Chain A
Amino acid sequence: MKDLIRKLVETFGPSGFEDQIRAVIRGEVEPWADELRVDPLGSLVVHKQGGDGRRLVLAAHMDEIGVMVTHVDEGGFVRFARIGGLGTLTCVGARVAFEHGTVGVIGIEGKREDTSKAPKFEQLYIDVGATNRDDCPVRVGDAAVFVRPFAVQGRRLIAKAMDDRIGCAVLIETLRRLDRTPHDVYFVFSVQEETTLSGARTSAYGIDPDLAIAVDVTTTGDTPESRPMAVALGKGPAVKVKDSKMIAHPAVKDLLVQRAKEADIPFQLEVLEGGTTDAAAMQLVRAGVPAGCLSIPCRYVHSPSEMVDEEDVENSVRLLLEVLQAA
């Protein structure tokens, strides 16, 4: 699975610019799909026909956070806005890459009033090696992502865009290993989760499922002086009870917990106080959809080096298979 994960995390795909990552995922899933389509906003939907059981949606988002050019100044330096929930602390000194290869460095204004406080986005800029406005290789509207190669350290996997390419990897692997299922299953690789959750929302509308489960990352409380949080790396996939925009349907939460217990898969229960997932959007589609989320514990979320645990990833696949294969 590591090769798959590497391929996914290193592909360009900020919110709104998912063409490349969609093509890569499409290549990975096409042989296993009964039906496949791309919906109006660009989400990739894979249908795995099972029996007459419930219609399920499993969703992971293809898009990653990034930056977008807002202005090119006289000197060829680039001002930018964030795409998704990026913070300035992770930007300073970062290396970014644009869609067609241009590379840049994020610099910070020296003349800041209070250097002890975190900078604002207006105090940052990207240096793409231009000498003036006219020879700048990028223009307003162009998007870039962090550059950081995939690395393995023991059981830990580290890269940018684990949020949520690791979720995509879990879905792809689940699809590959899925033998038979009594349910009618749709794997949704959604767009624009980091900005508006619009991809999952509209895909779920089109599918009209009986139940929906998002597969995304969640933060942990196991690093030095971290804010209290009950999830830790390596202790198993997390079953989400609540996040900032959603309360998981108790039946979906219980389903995940039950299957994990029956199959002896380690799991954790999760309450996330800052952040949400595609499940929050899918829950409100049409007359309502019982929804929940299977979370992959991840340290340093929304930084260029997000870290997950290999066994948590493997156990996530196993748990999803249990959910899909049982009635």
Chain B
Amino acid sequence: MILKELSEATGVSGDEGDVRAVVLGALQGHVDEVKVDAMGNVLAFKRGTARPSTFKSGRRRLRVMLDAHMDEVGLMVVGHDSDGFLQMRNVGGIDPRLLPGTLLRVGPECIYGVVGIKPVHLLREKEGDKVPRIEELVIDVGAKNKDEAKGLAPLGTYATFATQFRELGPTVRGKAFDDRVGCAVLIELLRGERFRFDLHAAFTVQEEVGLRGAQTAAYAIEPDCAFALEGTVADDMPKDKDVSPTTKLGDGPALTVMDRSFIADRRLLRLLTSTAEELGIPYQFKQPGIGGTDAGAIHRAREGVPSVTVAVPCRYIHSPVALLSLDDFDNTVRLMRESLSRITRRTLQREKGG
């Protein structure tokens, strides 16, 4: 399953090589052109079938950008102490509460490392409530002194969670579903039939440190509209208050109306919801105001790009082990495929006099 390969590949922001290799392998034979740009993005092109019209505006085919980011959050080695432990900082947003007790894979050789803290038996009163800051945590790879540590994991070495992908029947679990699940959806779409429009797929880098790859990819592609494909927060555990779960596992692909990085284009939202309703595909709206995605960078490219984000709900997405529903995955692919096959220039027109 492509999601397994993608999830287990290592690819912290800035070090996406392994994921790139999986993506390039998966696209072989399914696209017309593919290249890797200056940032490390994989840009793939699949020509459309529509015959361009003779009207001025229609002379080139509609250009649609589909985006998914290859990078995951992780850690970087920034120092070595005299006892051989590695000092680290986060790459992208990591909740430091999740680090104690984790198993990591460090460096290109993927040697194992562990993050441990002061044992509970030795804690003084109230110390157990304090959250250790990342500056106070270290990675133990078994080195005996500073020089050995430097040799095994020099400055700048990346580390990821050592989570193995597992299928649990209707659900699967693994690391980096944000956004390897988006990459998997995109690969599925590229493996299918051609669309009428020209499809530009961008498997981007460095989303987690500032939507970086998407910015340059959108500039290069100059699309008429864009869809960012993501894995997003599902906070549907029991709570004391009747508040939003952000998204719910099993309720289908989650559409972003507004998050902290952009406001979705209403025409694209209408395309998605009307397609879903017509075909009976479940969908939900992601809780507005949470998070940010590549659409935040794409919509601002050049003269502006109407954009929307479609995401697969994932529980524990910010932790070393996330969980998603295969039905949601399939429905996301289906909703995207069906909506894209209905997109035309008409979709992007505005009401008269508006």
Contacts and interface: CB of A to CB of B under 8 A. Distances in A.
Contact between chain A and chain B defined by CB under 8 Å: yes
Interface of A: 15-17, 19, 22-23, 26-27, 38-43, 68-71, 73-75, 79, 81-83, 122, 139-141, 192, 195-196, 198-199, 201-203, 205-206
A141 B263 contact: no
B288 A141 contact: yes
B303 A202 contact: yes
B30 to A, nearest CB: 29
A189 to B, nearest CB: 12
User: Chain A interface secondary structure, helix, strand, loop or mixed?
Assistant: mixed
B291 to A, nearest CB: 12
B288 A196 contact: no
User: Chain B interface secondary structure, helix, strand, loop or mixed?
Assistant: loop
Nearest to B257: A141
Given A17-B266, A139-B285, 16 more contacts: A16-B264, A19-B354, A22-B354, A41-B305, A68-B258, A69-B288, A70-B244, A71-B243, A71-B244, A75-B242, A81-B287, A141-B258, A141-B288, A196-B296, A196-B300, A205-B302
Interface size range on B against A:
20 to 34
Nearest to A16: B263
Contacts of B257: 68, 140-141
B96 to A, nearest CB: 23
A201 B289 contact: no
A76 B354 CA distance: 33
B210 to A, nearest CB: 14
A196 B258 contact: no
B31 to A, nearest CB: 26
B288 A70 contact: yes
B142 interface: no
Nearest to B225: A40
Contact of A38 (B243, B287, B288, B354): B354
10 contacts: A16-B263, A19-B354, A23-B351, A23-B354, A27-B353, A71-B242, A73-B243, A141-B258, A141-B269, A198-B304
A81 B258 CA distance: 10
B266 A202 contact: no
Contacts of B244: 70-71, 79, 140
B315 interface: no
B354 A26 contact: yes
Greatest chain A CB density within 10 A among B243, B288, B353 is at B288
Given A69-B288, A79-B243, A196 B302 contact: no
Interface in B266-307: 266, 269, 285, 287-289, 296, 299-306
Greatest chain A CB density within 10 A among B299, B300, B302, B353 is at B300
A40 B302 CA distance: 10
Interface of B: 224, 242-244, 257-258, 261-266, 269, 285, 287-289, 296, 299-306, 350-351, 353-354
B266 to A, nearest CB: 7
Contacts of A38: 350, 354
A140 B288 contact: yes
B60 to A, nearest CB: 16
B67 to A, nearest CB: 17
Contacts of A69: 288
Nearest to A192: B263
B354 to A, nearest CB: 5
A12 B243 CA distance: 27
Greatest chain B CB density within 10 A among A19, A38, A39, A71 is at A71
Contacts of A19: 350-351, 354
A200 B287 CA distance: 27
B211 to A, nearest CB: 12
Nearest to B244: A71
B263 A15 contact: yes
A220 to B, nearest CB: 29
B289 A68 contact: yes
A81 B169 CA distance: 36
Nearest to B273: A141
A195 B289 contact: no
B289 A196 contact: no
B218 to A, nearest CB: 11
A203 B353 CA distance: 19
Contact of A71 (B262, B264, B287): B287
Contacts of B285: 139-141
Nearest to A22: B354
A195 B264 CA distance: 12
B288 A205 contact: no
A209 to B, nearest CB: 13
A198 B300 contact: yes
Given A23-B353, A74-B242, A196-B300, A81 B288 contact: yes
A3 to B, nearest CB: 20
A196 B262 contact: yes
Contact of A70 (B263, B266, B287, B303): B287
A198 B354 contact: no
Contacts of A42: 350
Contacts of B299: 41, 198
Nearest to B348: A40
Given A83-B258, A192-B263, A40 B305 contact: yes
A71 B306 CA distance: 25
A41 B266 contact: no
Contacts of A74: 242
